[in-house]
């Protein structure tokens, strides 16, 4: 597997509890490199655009309100098989179903407030990285 890049978001529930460093340590310990990172607050419209793929889902409005409710840290993670590796480190969507030792199991509060986002394919990773970062901001 080649070196890949993936988009990660540390969500408002985690920034509110000052968990940015603890979550970043999980990525670095697993061999992922943080090659771009910034803290920002999404507007409702930006959250709705980012999660447009979910617009038919019952949780869409709530998810967009939540993701714009406080600061997030958006980041690009790079490494061998980074998309799948990050999904493994994150754990299942619902913290209650996530394996012990994953970010969502250890830090997530609920299926919505599950502490992190991670791209689910290399194609989506490229689109999601381009949503937040210019090439100049990614330093490998």
CA atoms within 13 A on the CB side of 140: 8
Q: What is the DSSP letter of 78?
A: E
User: Is 76 or 116 the residue whose CB approaches ligand ADP more closely?
Assistant: 116
Judged by beta carbon, residue 64 or residue 140, the one nearer Mg ion is 64
What share of residues in the chain are helix, strand, coil (percent, to 5)?
45, 20, 35
Minimum Å distance from CB 90 to ligand ADP? 7
For this structure, is 117 an active site residue?
Answer: yes
State the angle between helix axes of 82-90 and 122-132 in degrees (0 to 180), rounded to the nearest 10.
80
* Residue 106 partner contact from ligand ADP, Mg ion, none using kind-dependent CB cut-offs of 5 to 8 Å: none
Question: Which of the listed partners (ligand ADP, Mg ion, none) does 78 bind, with a CB threshold of 5 to 8 Å by partner kind?
Answer: none
Q: Alpha-carbon distance 133 to 111, whole Å?
A: 27
Q: What residues are labeled active site? A: 117
Question: Which chain residues interact with ligand ADP by CB under 6 A?
Answer: 54, 59, 63, 93, 111-112, 114, 117, 120
Q: Which residues are at the interface with Mg ion (CB under 5 A)?
A: 120
């Amino acid at each position: 597997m080649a070196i890949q890049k993936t988009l990660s978001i540390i969500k408002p529930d985690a920034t509110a509890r000052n968990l940015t460093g603890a979550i970043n340590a999980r990525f670095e310990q697993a061999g992922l490199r943080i090659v771009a990172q910034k803290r920002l607050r999404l507007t409702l419209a930006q959250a709705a655009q980012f999660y447009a793929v979910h617009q038919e889902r019952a949780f869409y409005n709530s998810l967009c309100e939540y993701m714009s409710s406080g600061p997030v840290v958006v980041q690009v993670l790079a490494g061998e098989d980074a998309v799948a590796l990050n999904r493994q480190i994150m754990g299942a969507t619902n913290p209650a179903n996530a394996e012990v030792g994953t970010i969502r199991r250890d830090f997530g509060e609920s299926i919505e407030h599950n502490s992190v986002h991670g791209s689910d394919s290399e194609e989506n990773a490229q689109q999601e990285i381009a949503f937040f970062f210019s090439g100049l901001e990614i330093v490998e």
